[in-house]
Structure 1
Amino acid sequence: MPWKAPLSAAEARVLATLMEKARTVPDSYPLTLNSLQSGCNQKSARDPVMALSEHDIAEALDGLRERSLVIESSGGRATRYEHNAGRVLGVPDQAAALLGLLMLRGPQTAGELRLNSERWHKFLDIGSVEAFLDELQERPEAKGGALVVKLPRLPGAREPRWAHLLCGPVDASAHAAAAEPTPGAETPALLERLVALEAQVQRLQDRLDRLDPAAP
């Protein structure tokens, strides 16, 4: 099915949060509106950090339902929501995981995606990540066209970063300016430690999601 982009920033955050929680907290999935808002606005593993209201999320859900990207289910004491991204976009689970991570965390290298995807899908190596990214970039127009783009390599960087196209074309120059190194910029070792700490915070957040008082 051809892709009917673009998504708004809020729609992308809601969709990616549903994709994440389906993999990381399956016992609490599908999500209630309360759990979804908490996941969208969490401080860890999000770039940018957002502060979406219930109204913002409700509007985003309406837009996603119109594209069949979200399915609403009722039962118990609360309405719940689940994503339908893989089927609508026509991509395998591995590619969907990469798209979800790019929507949640912004542009990343293949190496960063492999580290960050540990709880979504265990890729064998960076080469396998790059293979799925290449498929997403070379997707034929008959299937909706490219869903990711490889950004120009930054000065001094060893790997190029990738960005998703679900919110429309990407301004590579703007991303390059935002990623310019600053004094005290993270070393690779420090970046790996930060990723590990984010994963630990994410696990704690997932435990809190299971205790959602709005859940039946």
Structure 2
Amino acid sequence: MRMNLTELEIRILGCLMEKELTTPEYYPLTLNALAAACNQKSNRDPVLSLSESDLQRGLEALGARGLARMTTTGGRVAKYVHSMGDKLGLDAPVRAVLAELMLRGPQTAAELRSRSERMTQVGDLAAAEEILLKLQQHGPPLVVRLPRQAGRKESRYAQVFAGMPELPEEGPEPPETAPAPRTRPGNERLEHLEQEVGTLRQEIGALRREVEELLAAFS
């Protein structure tokens, strides 16, 4: 499967997957319902403002990839469904985690476990991590684990339907500066003693001259 979906296509696909699980009574979605789902402000990052023509263009592209299709089942109004379960063989908990990544961007396993529970029962943290591992090992991989950011204890995961995410480049390492020469403790002590001996010699020389002058005065 081609892994070069656009942001528009990913948002549509994620919304179809989400609404199938959260509101199955209103699924498949009409174009109006899909627009409301794609443009809603909660559980979305980034928040988008898509028109019906945008959605039709995205649905056509997804249809060409076999990931979404139109259906008139249950009425005359055209409605839309995704084909992720059939196309990729993903069960509900896996689709929930993947939809969450498609709708809100990179997240930690703990965040995904908590947020995916609104769609379906995912299980504990270990179960969420197992789902993420399954998505990473899928052929081709659907999720990657991102390098841990500075100051964060947990790594985040990202979906790769738009290709590999851009990772922040590491800045150049600062040039190495030669360390200031350090004097070993023994050398420092020897130098200190030598300074003290020099000072004593000067003082002794001054006393000797004074004694000689006194002897000369009394001679």
Task: Normalising by structure 1, report the TM-score.
Answer: 0.74
Query: In the alignment, which of 121, 144, 163 is matched to residue 149 of structure 1?
Result: 144
Tell me the SS of whatever aligns to 1:162.
strand
Separation in 2, partners of 1:66, 1:74: 18
**Kept after mapping to 1: 8 A contact 2:59/2:69:** no
What's the offset of the Cα at 1:137?
Answer: 1.1
Partner of 2:50: 52
Deviations 1:112-147 (A, max 9, x none): 0011011212222111111111121122xxx3x211
Q: Cα deviation per residue 1:155-190 (whole Å; 9 max; x = unaligned)?
A: 12121100000111111218x9xxxxxxxxxxxxxx
Determine what percentage of the aligned residue pairs are the same residue: 44
The letter for the 1-side match of 2:56 is A
The separation in 2 between residues aligned to 1:62 and 1:23, in whole angstroms, is 23
Q: Residue 209 of structure 1 corresponds to which residue in structure 2?
A: none
Structure 2 Cα separation of the partners of residues 126 and 101 of structure 1: 15
Q: Which residue of 2 aligns with 1:33?
A: 31
Cα distance in 2 between the residues matched to 1:45 and 1:58: 23
The runs of 5 or more residues in structure 2 that have no matched partner are 171-219
Deviation at 1:77, TM superposition (A): 4.3
Aligned length: 169
Q: Which has the higher contact order (CA 8 A, sep 6+)?
A: 1
Distance 1:129 1:45 in 2: 19
Shift of 1:111: 0.4
TM-score normalised by structure 2 residue count? 0.73
The equivalent residue for 1:173 is 168
Partner of 1:114: 113
Provide the residue aligned with 1:20 in structure 2. 18
Q: 2:44, 2:103 within 8 Å by CA — same for their partners in 1?
A: yes
List structure 1 runs of 4+ shifted beyond 6 angstroms. none
Q: Structure 2 matches for 1:1-216, cutoff 5 A?
A: 3-74=1-72, 76-139=75-138, 143=139, 145-173=140-168
RMSD: 1.6
Separation in 2 of the partners of 1:24 and 1:90?
A: 20
Q: Match for 2:156: what amino acid?
A: R
SS at match of 2:168: helix
Q: Read off the aligned partner of 1:103 and give its amino acid letter.
A: M
